[in-house]
Structure 1
Amino acid sequence: MTKYSAMHETFSIERKIRASASRVFAAWANPQAKRQWFACHDEWVSLDYNLDFRVGGEERNRVADSNGVLHAYQARYLDIVPEARIIYAYDMKLGEIRISASLATVTFEAAPSGATMLFTEQVVFLDGYKDGGSRRQGTEILVDRIQAFVEREGNIAH
């Protein structure tokens, strides 16, 4: 008999970024730009990536880790306000097993020396999956990577 469970967690990560809110937003919106920073582990192999950045659009990212295990991310964009807010829902799978479902909100505000980006995620871990803080840790890596990307890159087209 399968035991079903749902463990909830919410976390937020804020960064002061030395780039305009427009440039930070563009790094999320532009498929070529996002593909450059949207990875937690450089040694993992990209199998498939697609970004349709619009309300109702989807994003897919499938990678194989160093042991060959498939990690699949699939998102749907629910709300986009240019240079202000992005809201999307996504799920994660290991192999064919769905391990989590999330609602993520990213906000952008102009700041004196650039922009403030706030990432908030409400995640539910499914059916006994023990995250042990790795989702927050992976998201911290992504936030660090987008910050480094926009601070070193010039203009990014939307």
Structure 2
Amino acid sequence: MIEKSTEHTTLTIERHFKAPLPRVFGAWAVAENKRQWFACHGDWTPLDFQLDFRPGGSESNRVASTDGVVHAYQARYIDIVPNERIIYAFDMMLDDKRISVSLATVTFAPEPAGTAMIFTEQVVFLDGYGDNGSRLMGTEIGFDNLRLYVDGNETRPN
């Protein structure tokens, strides 16, 4: 029997983009745009992606890793203020096992040279899942892809 446990942590990532604020926000808000950058492993196989970007809307993303494990992300949007903030809750699963539940807040602000974005994730890892920094690393890779997408490269960076 697997021991039930919870491990809480908070991740904060700040990024600065050359792109104007509406372009950065739009990279989150439009399904065709988000699909271009929302991945941390270019060699994984996309299985399903859906985005209903509105308060009460949802997002799902399923991919298969090179070893066949299905990584599933399911989010629900709680609060959206265009060009200012996004608040959403999401869970992550490996095959049929839920490994984490999170509350994420993304804030955006114009800067003289582009856009500032601050991402804060309050995450609880479940039932002994040993993250070992994988969530932070994967999220940072995703935001590196976001930078490539909004700062000039319109194609999927990975």
Task: Tell me the TM-score normalized by structure 2.
Answer: 0.95
CA distance in 1, matches of 2:41, 2:143: 13
CA distance in 1, matches of 2:91, 2:82: 24
Show the counterpart of 1:73: 73
Tell me, what secondary structure is at the counterpart of 1:3?
A: coil
Please say if 1:84 is aligned against 2:78. Answer: no
Unpaired segments ≥5 residues, structure 1: none
CA distance in 1, matches of 2:153, 2:64: 28
Show the counterpart of 2:97: 97
Letter in 1 for 2:60: R
Identity of aligned residues (%): 59
CA distance in 1, matches of 2:86, 2:21: 12
Deviation at 1:153, TM superposition (A): 5.1
CA distance in 1, matches of 2:36, 2:108: 20
Show the counterpart of 2:7: 7
Letter in 2 for 1:84: E
Quote the RMSD (CA, aligned, Å): 1.0
Tell me, what secondary structure is at the counterpart of 2:151?
A: helix
Deviation at 1:107, TM superposition (A): 0.4
Unpaired segments ≥5 residues, structure 2: none
Q: Deviations over 1:3-61 (max 9, x none)?
A: 11000010111111001111100000000000010010011000110000000000000
Show the counterpart of 2:52: 52
Letter in 1 for 2:29: A
Number of residue pairs aligned between Structure 1 and Structure 2:
154
Show the counterpart of 1:64: 64
Letter in 2 for 1:124: V
Runs of 4+ in 1 over 2 A off after TM superposition: none
Deviation at 1:2, TM superposition (A): 3.5
Deviation at 1:121, TM superposition (A): 0.5
Task: Tell me the TM-score normalized by structure 1.
Answer: 0.95
